[in-house]
Amino acid sequence: MKKRIVLVIVLVIIVVFITFVVCLKVNGITDVNELVLDDISVTESENKITLKGEIVSSGKSYYGYAYYYKNDALFIEIKAGLITGKHKDGAFEIAIENSKVSELNAIYLKDRNNAMMIYSK
Amino acid sequence: MKIRYLIRKCLSSAVVLSLLIMCLGTTVSAQDENCKKNDSELNHRIYDRIIDDYILQTGLSKEQADVIFEEIASSVNISKVITSIAKDVLVIDEDAEYSENVLYIQSNYESIVDKMSDSEKYYVDKYFLASAIQYYKDFADSSEFNDAVSTTADVGFNLVEPIEMNSYDDDIEVQENEIALQPKNLTRGTTVAQVRIFADSTGESSIINTSGHAWLTIKNVSNSNITVGKFSIAPNKTIAVGTWGNKEEHNGLWYSLEPYFVHNYSTWSNRSSLLVNIDSTALATLTTYIVNHDSWSLTNNCSSFAVGGWNQICSTTLSAGVINTPTNLKNSIINTGLSSTGISVPYNYVVYYADGSNTPIRSSEF
């Protein structure tokens, strides 16, 4: 009985882990080496940052982005996944409006392991 | 008299009704038969396409693979086979989509089957094949397995030379430490072109890696213009061809887009490549292939295009996996032991995308 419970727990952990990793990959944060940036502009007076770029993996499309501030730097993560009817395009155009823009000294594109500086004051 | 009439009327109605039911039944069953036949033909076409990669990955013999395929194909519905075997394949997540599981198995096959008994491996192989076939059924374009692919390219007229770039490329024919492989034994005429296959991915440490890109470059090393796809390429110039699925202007074949990215953004810096020198017969084969492959789908992606073209002309054949990915193709290139890294991709021409049998269109975006 005890053995069976342990087995079930182990199986559940494996299933959760695999599902978690698969979910991350199917629609996850893109490696910065898969991104090229065409344009970046920081308008302090409007507290606005705009980014324009492209995913250079030919089978991935843009899904969205997330960002966070750490000290005086902004870190942007680009989310990409497999091409679907809803998500067909690898190009992205992002506009971030935030009152902290004027305090920024650097902006990075970030994935799980790397951060690539794309703007500094 | 009236009763007799009524009985006769009822009987004739019953006869007409049964005839109708029989006709309908025959039509439905004929349609059913047709569907089954079409489905079976599609299964065989998909199997024919993936068999070499499947054998390479699983280490099975052709006969062993055929047996597994027949077991799968004899079932009414492949998705039912997948569901029924899933519980016997200990390494997969029964609740996950089969498409996630097949990519997981492909990316981790060796570690999965390592230390498995023969019977356990058999279930993995069977699940792998069944779900790969289903993957192609679900994600391939309907035209991907049609017979109607022309065998000769219609490239004999309206050939134009693409607009040249003021590029800074090298004119070195074979770069340092680069080895030229033997062409496929078509004919052994004078070399007219150098073909390179490139693949790169980001080397994510994840279990499923769908990142990256793969493409071909063709350099004219003859003294006169050569035909590549729908273009006439000048001596000592190189053109790149690759397929893309995430570009707004066009889904399918692009010319010169890869050098655009390499030149402007230094992308794919860890690209691996192989080189083969080909004669005019092999070049004509490759051009036919290029012209006929203006398409992109999840199952017929950039790595499918690049590896398909390469395998038509080079004696060293490559594999992009059962489910084709740039990562698998890059591994296959490296595993030959003859690959080079970071070979230049000359940016000689501006970017175009294919337009069926017409002259390719100049990109307004790149």
Inter-chain CB proximity A58 and B243 less than 8 Å:
yes
How many angstroms separate the CA of residue B316 from the nearest CA in chain A?
A: 25
User: What residue in A sits closest to B201 (Cα-Cα)?
Assistant: A57
Separation of alpha carbons A67 and A109, rounded Å: 9
Average pLDDT in the A4-25 region?
66
Say whether pLDDT at A24 is over 80.
Answer: no
User: Which among A56, A82, A91 has CB closest to B261?
Assistant: A56
Inter-chain CB proximity B248 and A91 less than 8 Å:
yes
Judge whether A90 is closer than 8 Å to chain B, CB to CB.
Answer: yes
**Per-residue confidence (pLDDT) for residue B19, from 0 to 100:** 57
How many angstroms separate the CA of residue A10 from the nearest CA in chain B?
A: 12
How many angstroms separate the CA of residue B206 from the nearest CA in chain A?
A: 8
Interface list for A 39-78 with B (CB within 8 A): 55-62
Give per-residue pLDDT as tens, B192-210: 999 999 999 875 544 456 7
**Per-residue confidence (pLDDT) for residue B249, from 0 to 100:** 94
Instruction: Tell me the pLDDT band of A102, cut-offs 50, 70 and 90.
Output: confident
> Which distant-in-sequence residues (6+ apart) come within 8 Å of B27 by Cβ?
none
Q: How many CB pairs under 8 A join A and B?
A: 97
Inter-chain CB proximity A59 and B92 less than 8 Å:
no
> Which distant-in-sequence residues (6+ apart) come within 8 Å of A15 by Cβ?
B93, B94, B95
How many angstroms separate the CA of residue B138 from the nearest CA in chain A?
A: 12
User: What residue in B sits closest to A15 (Cα-Cα)?
Assistant: B93
Instruction: Tell me the pLDDT band of A20, cut-offs 50, 70 and 90.
Output: very low
3 state DSSP class of A35: strand
Give per-residue pLDDT as tens, A49-91: 999 999 999 989 999 999 999 888 999 999 988 888 888 899 9
Separation of alpha carbons A37 and A55, rounded Å: 9
Closest CA to B71 of B123, B113, B145: B123
- Judging contacts by C-beta atoms under 8 Å, the chain B residues touching residue A82 are 210, 298
Say whether pLDDT at A108 is over 90.
Answer: yes
Show the CA angle centred on residue B130, arms to residues B127 and B134, nearest 5°: 130
- Judging contacts by C-beta atoms under 8 Å, the chain B residues touching residue A78 are none
**Per-residue confidence (pLDDT) for residue B16, from 0 to 100:** 62
CA distances (Å), origin B284, targets A87, B229, B243, B270: 37, 9, 19, 30
Contact yes or no for B310/B319 (Cβ under 8 A) = no
* For testing contact with chain B, the best of A18, A35, A38, A58 (most B CBs within 10 A): A58
CA distances (Å), origin B221, targets A70, B69, B226, B237: 54, 45, 9, 8
User: Which among B265, B298, B326 has CB closest to A83?
Assistant: B298
**Per-residue confidence (pLDDT) for residue B206, from 0 to 100:** 47
**φ, ψ for residue B139 (rounded to 5)?**
-110, -15
User: Which among B265, B269, B301 has CB closest to A58?
Assistant: B301
Separation of alpha carbons B25 and B28, rounded Å: 5
ipTM associated with this complex: 0.73
- Judging contacts by C-beta atoms under 8 Å, the chain B residues touching residue A14 are 93
Separation of alpha carbons A78 and A66, rounded Å: 7
Instruction: Supply B151's token pair.
Output: 């065998």
3 state DSSP class of B246: coil
C-alpha dihedral (B240, B244, B246, B249), degrees to nearest 10: 70
Low-confidence residues in chain B, pLDDT < 70: 1-3, 5-7, 10-35, 76, 142-143, 146-158, 167-174, 186-187, 203-209
